[in-house]
Chain A
Amino acid sequence: QSVLTQPPSASATPGQRVTISCSGSRSNIGTNTANWYQQLPGSAPKLLIYNFNQRPSGVPDRFSGSKSGTSASLAISGLQSEDEAEYYCAAWDDSLNGPVFGGGTKLTVL
Chain B
Amino acid sequence: QVQLQQWGAGLLKPSETLSLTCAVYGGSFSGFYWSWIRQPPGKGLEWIGEVTHSGSTRYNPSLRSRVIMSVDTSTNQFSLKLTSVTAADTAVYYCARRRGSDVIVAVRFLGYDYWGQGNLVTVSS
Q: Contact between B109 and A101 (Cβ–Cβ < 8 Å)? A: no
Chain B residue with Cβ nearest A101: B45
Number of interface residues of B (CB under 8 A): 28
CA distance A51 to B116 in the complex (A): 22
Q: Which of B11-19, B24-32, B100-108 is the interface stretch?
A: B100-108
**Within 8 Å of chain B (Cβ to Cβ): is A88?**
yes
Provide the A19-33 mask, 1 if CB < 8 A to any CB of B, else 0. Answer: 000000000000011
CB pair A88 B58 closer than 8 Å = no
A-B contact pairs, 26 of them (CB 8 A): A32-B108, A33-B107, A33-B108, A33-B109, A33-B110, A35-B111, A37-B112, A44-B94, A44-B96, A44-B116, A45-B94, A45-B115, A46-B115, A50-B110, A50-B111, A50-B113, A88-B44, A88-B45, A90-B45, A90-B109, A91-B109, A98-B50, A98-B59, A100-B47, A101-B45, A104-B45
With A33-B106, A33-B107, A44-B118 known as contacts, the answer to whether A98 contacts B112 (CB < 8 A) is: no
20 new A-B contacts at CB < 8 Å, known A35-B110, A50-B111, A98-B60? A2-B44, A35-B112, A45-B94, A45-B112, A45-B115, A47-B111, A47-B112, A49-B111, A51-B110, A56-B111, A56-B113, A88-B45, A90-B111, A96-B61, A98-B58, A99-B98, A99-B109, A100-B47, A101-B44, A101-B47
- Chain B residues with CB under 8 Å of A90's CB are 45, 109, 111-112
CB-defined contacts of B106 to chain A, threshold 8 Å: 33
Q: Which residues from chain B contact A101 at a C-beta distance below 8 Å?
A: 44-47
Partner of A32, one of B47, B60, B109, B117: B109
The answer to whether A92 touches B109, judged by C-beta atoms less than 8 angstroms apart, is yes
List residues of chain A with CB under 8 Å of any chain B CB: 2, 32-35, 37, 44-47, 49-51, 56, 88, 90-92, 96-104
